[in-house]
Amino acid sequence: MKSQQILVDINDPGNFSFAACLVFLGRSDKENLHFIRNGTLQKLVVADGIPVLITVTGETGHQLIVEMSPVTFPELTERVPALTEKAIAYITRYVTRWLHLDGSLQSFYDYAAQNPLLSGLPERYKGLRLIGIPDLFETLCWTIIGQQINLTFAYTLRQRLITHFGYSVALDGHTFHLFPRPEVIAALTPEVLAGMQFSGGKARYLIATAQEIVNGTFSMEALDRMDYQQAKERLLALKGIGNWSANYILMKYGRFPEALPLEDAGLHNAIKARLQLEAKPTAAQLKEITGKWGQHAAYATFYLWRTLLPQ
């Protein structure tokens, strides 16, 4: 593989830590879309039709170092293609969106310092950016998979979906996967997914979502043009997407700062632990606690999720 290096700009570099991001990215041993090794982050993407292994090696000043290696993929390419300008631009956007490199944490940190629930978290997790999912279809599927089950089982189901229906390639002693294409999932029957322990509802919703994308009735381009309320209403019109799911998607894919998955069990557990409550907070307590988060809601939620990890 002939590698090429790019430097991706980091906004607010004083409040960015690649190491802090790696901790969150490494939270599950069932993760099979990216790989962390010796302090580097690797992921396979398709950029301008070219399969590319990207390796993020760390930051230098106000930029992130990213190596790009085109790979031969039997199902997609017969030979290793050369990187195009469009491919490099796509990878730059992808990494920026994935690690929220164009964001700024100072406003949230200032707010958190005055909030009893959030106070101390910026110092503990300084530089942690809201880790996103740059692909809309992947975000939709992950959200549907994670509904009303624990995170461990959600990762198990996701791993099965990727392994069975996505492309994979072995490189440097590790198998790298691509998330399944919408066309592949759209052609499945619910019975196939049920045989992999997906509930009937999840199976139907995954297939219906894939079909909407394949048919062009729902697209990344359309969602990207909408404001928060418009995007939320459009998501709620999809089968299987409720308030929690819509806000999770708007947080992880859309990066709307006001997105608040209020019904999230992990958020409830984090609040309970931080406030040393005897029971999970009630709906009324949650509204009171989160009611003033406003444009800090997404980052407040994300940093509270971070408190649930052991490190």
99 pLDDT higher than 80: yes
What are the domain boundaries of the chain? 4-104, 136-254
pLDDT digits (tens, 9 = 90+) for 289-310: 999 999 999 999 999 999 999 8
- Global pTM? 0.95
Catalytic residues: 264
Q: Which two three-digit tokens encode residue 7?
A: 């430097």
Q: CA-based angle 168:25:8, to the nearest 5?
A: 85
- What type of residue sits at position 156? T
Report the 10 Å Cβ neighbour count for 245: 22
pLDDT digits (tens, 9 = 90+) for 28-69: 999 999 999 999 999 999 999 999 999 999 999 899 999 999
Contact 54, 92 (CB under 8 A): no
| Average pLDDT value for residue range 148-153 | 93
**For 4-104, which CATH class?**
alpha beta
- Structural domain 136-254, CATH architecture: Orthogonal Bundle (1.10)
pLDDT band, residue 173 (cuts 50/70/90): confident
